[in-house]
Amino acid sequence: MALEGNETPHILVFVDEAGFNLAKGRRRGCNIIGHRATVDAISENGVATHIPSLGPYNTQKLLIFLDRLHFDLIPENERGLVGPHLPQYVIVWDNVNFHRGPLIRAWFTTHPRMVMVFLPPYSPFLNPIEEFFSAWRWRVYEHRAQDQRSLLHAMDAACEDITGDHCRGWLRHSHRFFPRCIARENIRCDVDENLWPHRLQRVDGQEGEDGGQ
């Protein structure tokens, strides 16, 4: 919210990493901890940058992604320019350790048009990219990928289905939590429950009921 009072125009860009596990099929809980397969960035205009990469995610891959994001966001005629008339791109992401590393901080120092802001711990409801990933995974599984090559294709194809309207809706939804955060309320939020409020619409919810019979 403090950014709204800044005279320099700014554009919020939400970044996160996620993974897929082909062995688990179409259901929630599909991430393999520590083995993230893709990194994405979204803004109110839609998907800004998307790079699928199988295997563990690390600082070097993140630097490659940031270079690509900078190339995609900054118009060619503005590269190398700074000034209050040019918008800053605010990278919003969670506060995991490798987002805070010295190489990442050095990258932002040498790219002054881009700054980073860390989300508070345990606040996925403030990050619209969480809803992006939830919707995106379902689209990936609809392609029924059976190997790494088809998974990469499915990840790209599913990304094309996400529009600016989708992203703006997720941004508006995250903004609704601001007053409750300021009031220091205890907020419980599940991304899939927001997208599919009826329990039977969620595969794992159906599985849980079947298992209880």
Which pLDDT band holds residue 39 (cuts at 50, 70, 90)? Answer: confident
User: Which is it for strands 114-118 and 38-43: parallel, antiparallel or unpaired?
Assistant: unpaired
Rounded CA-CA distance 185/82 in Å is 39
Q: Identify each DSSP E strand in 45-113 by its residue range.
A: 46-52, 88-93
Give the global pTM: 0.74
Checking if the pLDDT of 134 tops 80, the result is yes
Selection from 192, 191, 189 nearest residue 205 by Cα: 192
Structure confidence at residue 63 (pLDDT) = 94
Looking at the DSSP bridge assignments, the partners of residue 11 are: 89
- Look up the CATH number of the domain holding residue 76: 3.30.420.10
Q: Give the range of the structural domain holding residue 206, as residue numbers without chain letter.
A: 2-211
Which pLDDT band holds residue 35 (cuts at 50, 70, 90)? Answer: very low
Q: Identify each DSSP E strand in the chain by its residue range.
A: 10-18, 38-43, 46-52, 88-93, 114-118
Rounded CA-CA distance 103/166 in Å is 33
- Starting at the edge strand found earlier in the chain, the sheet holding 46-52 runs 46-52, 38-43, 10-18, 88-93, 114-118
Across 26-35, 77-86, 103-112, 170-179, the highest mean pLDDT is recorded for 103-112
Checking if the pLDDT of 109 tops 70, the result is yes
Mean pLDDT (whole number) for 149-174: 87
Which pLDDT band holds residue 212 (cuts at 50, 70, 90)? Answer: very low
Which pLDDT band holds residue 77 (cuts at 50, 70, 90)? Answer: confident
Structure confidence at residue 51 (pLDDT) = 87
Structure confidence at residue 202 (pLDDT) = 46
Q: Which of 33-37, 66-70, 206-210 is the least confident region?
A: 206-210
Give the tokens for residue 72.
């995609």
- Report the number of distinct structural domains present in the chain: 1
Counting residues of the chain whose pLDDT is more than 90, the rounded percentage is 29
Which pLDDT band holds residue 103 (cuts at 50, 70, 90)? Answer: very high
Selection from 44, 55, 60, 47 nearest residue 16 by Cα: 47
Mean pLDDT (whole number) for 80-88: 85
